[in-house]
Structures are given as structure tokens and as C-alpha cells.
């Protein structure tokens, strides 16, 4: 037996796999975090890509809006913000003229205890913080994209003299990558703007790790340009959540440089697909709910044989995480019906129903979580197991004693691919 530990919520669980069945563990490249994280961020701010320094862009009288990620991401904003504030202070900007906006997109507002964890007590005590509300009545239109999307954004953000985006870059399953322009859309955009954009996920080019010809990415980038973003600070982190490198400067150029490092670290080639893939979303906050945890399942599909089994290990302490996702799964069991609904009347959250039903057509999926069976099985059509080893025994019964197994401990961030079609 081979013991493999998988992140689960804020702890880990152990899956025991017979050695004869185990193909191996698909994990990101082990890259050490920066020795001095503060110095690395300060270096990026001193050497911006395709842009002036932030301290040269900002003027003493300017109002500044800084968008940071919300509770669903593990971006180390608390480490990144103090050097950004130092740059602004060097330009003469006072802390009282800086507002940090939690880019909640369609998610709920950030709770006070989450705010302290996300940005740190020091920043909380220095500047104003607000959570974006995508349904607010006072959102501001900044223009229309070539895809016909009327871009309406947070008023505080729109009216700021200097707009800064702080985030991290990693894979995203229809925007190609997170980070950069995503801190405008969906982070601080209105519900209708986000829905218009996300409805384009049915396009075959809207997929993980793809930017060329990806309409979701193109629309997001144009929206961020219309919003007149001045500067970004993005980081790429390793599997331990440590900052490896920081990228600052122009909205597009700095972001694209970061995507190159993501590819180098997180794209993993394997020589075959497995009968069974055991995948963890990566623990908290990636598995805070089923809505977020789904990303791991999507990546695992790349290396699972058609008809194979995917075991998803995700605590989901906040349940399913999205009411529309829940509603679509209860109303529309047929994939074709969901596809028509996405095209005709897209609602954010419905896309997860589309992806999940599509995956269920070709794979058996077993969820190991704290989600009650009523939801996991009755609503989301997933098989369930109380423990990961129970799930594996069930999968081996289905797949047979010779079934081969891949394990993915960081499923939300790892993009595996099969080297050759002959070996797939």
C-alpha cells in the first residue's frame, strides 16, 4: 500500500492505494518560494513591466482604489498590500484617500474576520475597505465591448483617479487563467455584465490555460481597459501557497509574463489516462463549497478515461455555494436543456450545472465531503462516500483489480495533459 495525503479543508486525509494500481501523483513542479517575499514584491514594484512605477503614476491629491481577491481565493493580499501602500505614500497619497475593494464578483460580502485575514490588521487600520456588490444600484457604465457587453462597475472603483489590481495568476477553466483583468470582470462588475461574459464559456476556445481566441478572456481584457486600470500587482504561488515571483505594471504585459511561470509550474504532462483519479481541490479555501471545488474535477477530467471514476476530496463546509447552481441542477437534468438555457438566458452559477452534467455523462463521480447526501446525491447527482478509502474501494470494484490510479493533491491549480493520443 502507498499512503498519499490530500488536503481536505484545513487538514489532510490519507488515501491508501495498492502499489500495483498506483500510476503516481500528478503535482505541480516543486518551486521554492521567494526567500524574502517583501523584497520580491518591492522588486516587482520597482521594476514594472510595460509601465511607469506606481509612485510615478499617482499624485498626492489622487483617490486610489485597490481591488483585492475575496474569501474564495488564497491570494496573499496581506503581504502584497503594505508595499503597494508604501509606493502610494511615496507619491504623497494619504492613506485616507485609499480604498481597498474586495472583488466579490457574484459572491457574498466578506465577513469582518475574513477581512482581517485577507488584508491584515495593519491595512484594515490604515485604509477603508468595502465589499463589492454586483447588484448595487449605483454601478457605473464605462463602455461596451466588441462582444456587445455593457460594462458596469463599482462606483468607488470607477471614480478613483488611480485604479490598482492586486491578485494572483493561476489556471481558470474558461477564462484560461485567473488574475490580471479578472479583478475587474467579474470582481467589481455588475451581475448582468458578468453573465454576458460568462455565457461565452460554451465556445470551444474558452478552456483552461487557453488565451488565444478565447472570447471570455478577450471580453474581460477589453472591460478592464474600458475601466482604465492603471497598474497591477500579481503573484504566482507554489503548491504551499508561498509567493514564487511577483509581476507588476501594465494590465496585459505583466499578466502575460505571469502566465508563462504558471505554465512552467502547473502544466504537467503524463503518458496515459487512468481508470480512477483521486483529486483534492487543494483544501481551504479552494474547497469551501462545491461551487469552488468543482475546478479540481474539471482538471481531473483531462487524465481520466471515458467511463472512468473521479473521486473528489473536498470538505465543502459552506455547502453547495451557489443558489443558481442548485436551482439549475434541480430544474434541468438534461444537458441539452442546460446548453439551450446558457445560450438563451445565462445565469451565473448555471454554468457549473452545465459542466457537472457534461462530466456525469462520461464519468462516475464520487464526492468525499461534509455535504449531506440529500444535496450531493439528490440534487447534484454525485455518488458519495464517508471517507476517501471507502470511495477508492467502490471505484476499484467498478474498475476492476487492475484499474490504474492517478492522484492529484492540488487539483484546483494543476493542469494535467496526456503527451500522446496513442498512449491515452
- In tens, the pLDDT along 270-329 reads 999 999 999 999 999 899 999 999 999 999 999 999 999 999 999 999 999 999 999 999
- In tens, the pLDDT along 382-420 reads 999 999 999 999 999 999 999 999 999 999 889 999 986
For the record, the C-alpha cell of 234 comes out as 500579481
Q: Is 10 exposed, middle or buried (0-12, 13-18, 19+ CB in 10 A)?
A: exposed
* pLDDT score, position 345: 78
Check pLDDT > 50 for residue 100: yes
Cβ(244)–Cβ(265) below 8 Å: yes
Domain extent listing, the chain = 2-28+268-423, 37-237
Check pLDDT > 80 for residue 264: yes
DSSP states along 290-342: HHHHHHHHHHHGGGEEEEEEEEEE---TTTT--HHHHHHHHH---HHHHHHHH
- Say whether 17 sits in a helix, a strand or coil: strand
The DSSP letter of residue 283 is: S
User: In CATH terms, is domain 2-28+268-423 a member of 3.90.226.30?
Assistant: yes
Q: pTM of the prediction?
A: 0.83
Annotation: CATH topology of 37-237? Rossmann fold (3.40.50)
Amino acid at each position: 500500500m502507498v499512503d498519499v495525503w490530500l488536503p481536505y479543508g484545513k487538514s489532510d486525509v490519507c488515501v491508501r492505494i495498492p502499489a500495483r494500481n498506483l500510476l503516481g501523483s500528478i503535482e505541480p513542479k516543486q518551486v521554492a518560494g521567494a526567500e524574502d517575499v517583501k523584497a520580491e514584491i518591492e522588486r516587482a514594484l520597482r521594476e514594472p513591466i510595460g509601465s511607469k512605477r506606481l509612485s510615478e503614476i499617482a499624485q498626492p491629491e489622487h483617490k486610489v482604489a485597490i481591488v483585492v481577491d475575496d474569501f474564495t481565493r488564497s491570494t496573499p493580499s496581506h503581504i502584497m498590500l503594505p508595499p503597494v501602500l508604501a509606493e502610494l505614500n511615496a507619491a504623497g497619497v494619504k492613506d485616507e484617500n485609499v480604498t481597498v475593494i474586495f472583488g466579490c464578483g457574484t459572491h457574498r460580502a466578506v465577513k469582518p474576520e475574513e477581512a482581517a485575514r485577507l488584508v491584515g490588521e495593519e491595512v484594515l487600520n490604515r485604509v477603508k475597505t468595502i465589499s463589492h456588490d454586483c447588484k448595487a444600484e449605483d454601478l457605473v457604465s464605462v463602455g461596451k465591448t466588441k462582444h456587445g457587453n455593457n460594462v458596469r462597475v463599482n462606483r468607488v472603483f470607477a471614480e478613483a483617479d488611480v485604479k490598482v489590481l492586486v491578485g494572483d495568476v493561476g489556471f481558470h477553466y474558461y477564462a484560461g487563467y485567473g488574475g490580471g483583468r479578472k479583478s475587474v470582470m467579474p470582481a467589481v462588475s455588475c451581475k448582468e455584465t458578468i453573465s454576458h461574459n460568462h455565457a461565452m464559456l460554451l465556445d470551444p476556445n474558452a478552456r483552461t490555460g487557453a488565451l488565444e481566441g478565447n472570447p471570455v478572456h478577450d471580453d474581460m481584457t477589453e472591460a478592464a481597459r474600458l475601466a482604465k486600470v492603471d497598474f497591477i500587482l500579481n503573484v504566482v504561488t507554489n503548491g504551499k501557497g508561498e509567493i514564487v515571483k511577483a509581476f507588476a505594471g501594465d494590465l496585459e504585459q505583466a499578466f502575460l509574463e505571469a502566465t508563462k511561470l504558471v505554465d512552467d509550474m502547473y502544466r504537467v504532462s503524463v503518458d496515459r489516462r487512468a481508470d480512477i483519479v483521486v483529486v483534492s481541490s487543494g483544501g481551504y479555501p479552494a474547497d469551501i463549497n462545491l461551487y469552488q471545488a468543482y475546478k479540481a474535477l474539471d482538471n481531473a477530467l483531462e487524465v481520466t478515461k471515458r467511463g472512468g471514476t473521479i473521486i473528489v476530496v473536498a470538505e465543502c463546509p459552506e455547502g453547495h455555494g451557489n443558489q443558481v447552481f442548485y436551482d439549475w441542477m434541480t430544474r434541468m437534468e438534461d444537458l441539452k436543456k442546460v446548453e439551450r438555457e446558457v445560450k438563451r438566458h445565462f445565469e451565473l452559477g448555471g454554468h457549473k450545472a452545465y459542466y457537472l452534467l457534461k462530466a456525469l455523462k462520461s464519468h462516475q463521480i464520487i464526492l468525499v465531503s461534509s455535504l449531506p447526501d440529500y444535496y450531493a446525491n439528490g440534487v447534484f447527482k454525485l455518488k458519495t462516500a464517508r471517507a476517501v478509502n471507502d470511495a477508492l474501494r467502490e471505484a476499484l470494484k467498478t474498475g476492476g483489480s487492475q484499474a490504474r490510479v492517478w492522484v492529484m493533491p492540488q487539483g484546483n491549480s494543476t493542469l494535467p495533459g496526456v503527451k500522446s493520443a496513442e498512449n491515452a
